Amino acid sequence: MKIIAFGGSNSQHSINKKLATYAANQFSNANVEVLDLNDFAMPLFSVDVEKEIGQHPTAKAFLGKLAEADVLVVSMAENNGNYSVAFKNVFDWCSRIEKDIFQHKPMLLLATSPGARGGASVLEIATKLFPRYGTEIKASFSLPSFNANFDLEENKISNTELDKELKDIIKSSF
């Protein structure tokens, strides 16, 4: 099984990329590839830019990576209660090429933040919107208070109850 995972952030130290990587590696017998949104940077989307340059090849490359997946593991970063600009820009460019961006792949949808809500607002938005763009969200998980519940040295969830919850979600949903 091929898993494509990414965090919805362009931060060099993205906590959502760390969570997506950890979660993807909890699947049995999986080949995991973790994408970095920094590798898919494009000009800010606008219809004027699109008219000038056409479909951006980097957006096509991102869609190509998603096409390789059997399962998507996506952890959304929350900026002011919504998607990060980096994710939204990739999403906007890709949606102009293929409306069903997620190409009917099953998804484990995640979010985390330093705060106690764990990205709950962006998780709610993505849960409602992503199925309209060609995915079946098989399960979702929010990790609250990232700094208190994730061990950066071990690259794993340190809170045993939350770690078990995520592993049980993966086991029962995929």
The residue among 1, 34, 38 whose CA lies nearest residue 18 is 34
* Tens-place pLDDT, residues 73-100: 999 999 999 999 999 999 999 999 999 9
Q: State pTM to two decimals.
A: 0.97
* Tens-place pLDDT, residues 128-152: 999 999 999 999 999 999 999 999 9
- How confident is the model at residue 155, as a pLDDT? 96
Mean pLDDT, range 27-37, rounded to an integer: 97
* Residue appearing with tokens 């993505």: 126
- How confident is the model at residue 81, as a pLDDT? 93
Determine which helix (DSSP H) or strand (DSSP E) holds 173, and give its type and residue range. helix 160-173
Mean pLDDT, range 153-157, rounded to an integer: 97
Q: Which domains does the chain have, with CATH numbers?
A: 2-166 (3.40.50.360)
